[in-house]
Amino acid sequence: MNLALHVADDCLARHDVRVLGDGARTVVFGPGFGCDQTTWLPVAQALARSHRVVLMDFLPARHDSLHGHAADLLEVLAALQAENVVFVGHSVAASIGLLAAVQAPARFASLALLCATPCYLDEPPHYAGGFSREQVDGLLELMERNFADWSDTVGPLAFGEFNAESFACDFSRRLRRQDPAALRRFMALTLLSDLRADLPRCPVPTLVLQSPHDDFVPASATRHLVEALPAATLRLLDASGHCPHVTHPAQVARALHAHLSA
């Protein structure tokens, strides 16, 4: 086998890359913290009727920084020989996509960031990210001390009070099936990341999709994200919680269709 093909095949297998549809435009979906590509499947299938859709997973324990995961994304795109990509990232995958677009903007036609934030940590009085350092440390400590209790805490936080309790329960069960050490490492990377200095360096047109009631991303963080990006448009969804692609997939699919058709 040609060495370049072998490297590409290894990369695609590592991230469990799947391709749906055969349209001219490539849309790549990145899953958020604690999720895998299956959470995007209803939205991806809707878009695959008219686009080439790529589903992939990130490996939580693979890197010590989000920049490493961004390099993985770029490696996947190169292995697919994908150009003018629309990258759709949820939560931390949105951060990964932003970093990849800063590093290789020519690879991307646009970004669509779902429930994204440039920084989760508060920095009073200048920035309100939604979490104090003490709260983040408390979540990480609980995760190490009692993984089941941590998962039962994070599930309701992710889906909020306005969605059916079953969504939070399903997510908590999903978390408990994963490796606690790897997930803790990835959660620390996620909650302690700060992309604010990177935002002005991203020239790629960006759609920001946000739930008005998101316990992980306050309105102040969304406002900072949109104002700091050079070419960003905000669309508020008629949904709640941090995972509207799970609770309201048809609405998210319609928003992405509109973005792709613009």
Rounded CA separation 47/51 (Å): 6
Rounded CA separation 197/194 (Å): 8
Q: Which residues are catalytic?
A: 91, 214, 242
Q: Give residues with Cβ within 8 angstroms of 177, minimum separation 6.
A: none
CB count within 10 Å of CB 196 equals: 18
Question: Which residues, in sequence order, are bridge partners of residue 26?
Answer: 52
The angle that helices 133-145 and 147-159 make with each other, rounded to 10 degrees, is: 130
User: Distance from first CA to last CA of the chain, Å, rounded?
Assistant: 42
Cis geometry, peptide bond prior to residue 218 (ω within 30 degrees of 0): no
Query: With contact defined as beta carbons under 8 Å apart, do 119 and 221 qualify?
Result: yes
80 backbone dihedrals φ, ψ, rounded to 5°: -85, -5
Rounded CA separation 248/252 (Å): 7
Question: Which residues, in sequence order, are bridge partners of residue 123?
Answer: 127
CA proximity to 224, closest of 243, 191, 198, 245: 198
Q: How is residue 185 written in tokens?
A: 């490492």
